[in-house]
Amino acid sequence: MSRKKERSGLEERITVLKRFLPVCSFDAIAEKAKELKCNTDDIADALCLAVTAFLAAHEQCETIPPLPEQDEKGLYMMLTVPTKNPVRT
């Protein structure tokens, strides 16, 4: 609900990520961002994409809408979200 550039927003995202990456923490993300000289929300975004890719590879995602349209470049206009009860493998 909060902006991802604010600590409260990042903490909300970390709470979700911990379902899939139990070791995920604000301190770990802040340390990695400092090491890579980027913003903490960039690390959180990358982690979200990695988790989504992993779940999609294990057929534990669905798209919204179920039958997405394509834009003029052929890219699908959709959200990819975990199924209601993804299984951690």
Q: What is the pLDDT of residue 85?
A: 73
Q: What is the pLDDT of residue 89?
A: 54
Report in angstroms the alpha-carbon separations of 68 from 19, 37, 74: 27, 36, 11
Q: What is the pLDDT of residue 88?
A: 63
Q: Report pTM.
A: 0.79
How confident is the chain (89 residues) per 10-residue block, as mean pLDDT? 85 92 94 96 94 92 95 95 74
The number of beta carbons lying within 10 Å of the beta carbon of residue 47 is 20
Q: What is the pLDDT of residue 29?
A: 95
Q: What is the pLDDT of residue 6?
A: 86
